[in-house]
Amino acid sequence: MMFNNENASRLNVETHLIISQWAEATIKYETDYTPANVRALADHVHSNRDQAAPISSGSFHADGMIILPCSMKTLAAVNAGYCDDLISRAADVMLKERRRLVLAIRETPLSEIHLRNMLDVTRAGAIICPANASVLYKPDSIDDLVDQMIGRMLDLFDVDTVSTPAKIELEYWHTEHLRLNGLYWGLTALHLLGRPDALPRRETIDFVLNCQHESGGFGAAPGHDAHLLYTVSAVQILVMVDAVEDLEKNLDGKGKDFSWEIPCGSTK
């Protein structure tokens, strides 16, 4: 597992690394790294042939283990309890000690044998977490895809990865929406209570308009659901406080293609 010491230090994680023979070959052929570069990222490095390493014993209190990537050969060895190297032995220890074991499989397509092995190790306590990157966050680079995938795996160990840029940004978008959505429902409640003027109108309008995106909508990340919901809430609030003209003035130079509709008609 390639995990930067700076990140490990920030997360208060001590890393132990085992690189298999074929992982070394893959690093050479498929990346700009060398095995030595990768070893330098870990706190401790163990030979895959060293079954006397501390992590081969249940008395070594590791929080868990990730096999990344996990070949179908290694999956089969873990399922069979066939400990012929340190990787399979350390994985066996995780299962017998009831500790977290994550297998990041990479094979595709999968045969019935592969699927049976995955089912069996899952029943034994392991977690199958395919090394599949998500495009949900609209990543800008391969590094973003890798960071999201690694962050998802570390989440399985309750390691705080909230500072992952993609995760922070997405949570911020949704937090933004909740702020305006909360204001909308608060105003609705005040109207129902017969107190529509309980909130200062000018401050309410200024707050909403200050949240406007340069595209003309509201909130960050145009194209995401949170942005659409944020915009809907903002327009609803401005309609409720009779500030449609303020919105139109604030659109000056913004969002030429931005349009919205209210019951009385359409404004573009």
**Are residues 93 and 217 part of one domain?**
no
**Are residues 155 and 44 part of one domain?**
yes
**Are residues 225 and 203 part of one domain?**
yes
Q: What is the pLDDT of residue 22?
A: 92
Boundaries of domain holding 231 = 166-267
* pTM: predicted TM-score of the whole model, two decimal places: 0.60
Please tell me the distance from the alpha carbon of residue 56 to that of residue 54, in angstroms, as a whole number.
5
Average of per-residue pLDDT values in the chain: 81
Q: What is the pLDDT of residue 222?
A: 67
β partners of residue 101:
65
**Are residues 138 and 16 part of one domain?**
yes
Residue ending a domain, choose from 106, 133, 161: 161
Q: What is the pLDDT of residue 121?
A: 96
**Are residues 177 and 100 part of one domain?**
no
Give kind and range of the element (H or E) at residue 70: strand 64-70
**What total number of domains does the chain contain?**
2
Q: What is the pLDDT of residue 3?
A: 46
Please tell me the distance from the alpha carbon of residue 256 to that of residue 5, in angstroms, as a whole number.
47
Assess contact for 1 and 44: CB atoms under 8 A.
Answer: no
Residue ending a domain, choose from 161, 190, 215: 161
**Are residues 241 and 175 part of one domain?**
yes
State pLDDT tens for residues 9-26: 567 788 999 999 999 999
**Are residues 145 and 95 part of one domain?**
yes
- Average pLDDT of span 100-124: 94
β partners of residue 17:
45
**For residue 107, what is the domain's CATH number?**
3.40.50.1950
Residue ending a domain, choose from 121, 137, 161: 161
pLDDT-derived band of residue 8, with 50, 70 and 90 as boundaries? Answer: low
Of the listed ranges 30-44, 54-68, 164-178, 214-228, the least confidently predicted one is 164-178
Q: CB pairs under 8 A, 24+ apart, for 25-30?
A: none
